[in-house]
Chain A
Amino acid sequence: SQTIHQWPATLVQPVGSPLSLECTVEGTSNPNLYWYRQAAGRGLQLLFYSVGIGQISSEVPQNLSASRPQDRQFILSSKKLLLSDSGFYLCAWSYGQPTGELFFGEGSRLTVL
């Protein structure tokens, strides 16, 4: 069966510090990978998605970047965090076809102080 792991689960960082959130998928190959952000009281905002190694599409211009160094690994990064980067970050994957069904990780809560 397929599983998705996301870490760290909770992170408190000062403004201006770097960020690295990691996500890995097991049990499938060549998944589509996604990073979403969920701000308090709001729906989900798609940040990045990837259809293959080294292929990253950005949905929203921002202070963040994403990388996919391996087939089942997806990393969300920032060089200098802003207060507005605080939120709940969710990694997700889907099969390589447009079913629209996503499988989500447990999420990473980032608080920038």
Chain B
Amino acid sequence: AQSVTQLDSHVSVSEGTPVLLRCNYSSSYSPSLFWYVQHPNKGLQLLLKYTSAATLVKGINGFEAEFKKSETSFHLTKPSAHMSDAAEYFCVVSGSDSWGKLQFGAGTQVVVTP
């Protein structure tokens, strides 16, 4: 079985400052990990994914995440926040025993202040 924990329910950053969203996972198998973003009243959009290739994964809109097996973490970062980054972010894990059935974190709401 697999699970995912997003360590912060809310993150507030100033425009132009770095963003860090923390995610820890547990999985009985070699996991695939994802970050999705959801703007208000919209569907989810894939930001990036890790599938056992390079541990540093680059995604859309300047986001990247690093897979650290020793720490069971997959934190999402962005060097400089933009107002349009205000949204909810979900860390997601999928193991080989749960084909097609992803385990979603509870989400982190990001607020960007001018």
Interchain CB contact under 8 A, B90 and A43: yes
How many chain B residues touch A (CB < 8 A): the figure is 22
The CA of A99 and the CA of B102, in the complex, are separated in Å by 10
How many chain A residues touch B (CB < 8 A): the figure is 25
A73 at the interface (CB under 8 A from B): no
Residues of B within 8 A of A34 (CB): 100
A25 at the interface (CB under 8 A from B): no
Closest to B6 in A: A43
Q: Known contacts A106-B43, A107-B43; is A100 also within 8 Å of B106 by CB?
A: no
The CA of A42 and the CA of B32, in the complex, are separated in Å by 22
List 29 A-B pairs, Cβ < 8 Å: A32-B100, A34-B100, A42-B106, A42-B107, A43-B90, A43-B104, A43-B106, A44-B44, A44-B90, A44-B104, A46-B102, A51-B100, A92-B43, A94-B100, A98-B96, A98-B99, A100-B32, A100-B49, A100-B51, A100-B92, A100-B100, A100-B102, A101-B34, A102-B44, A102-B102, A104-B43, A104-B44, A106-B42, A109-B41
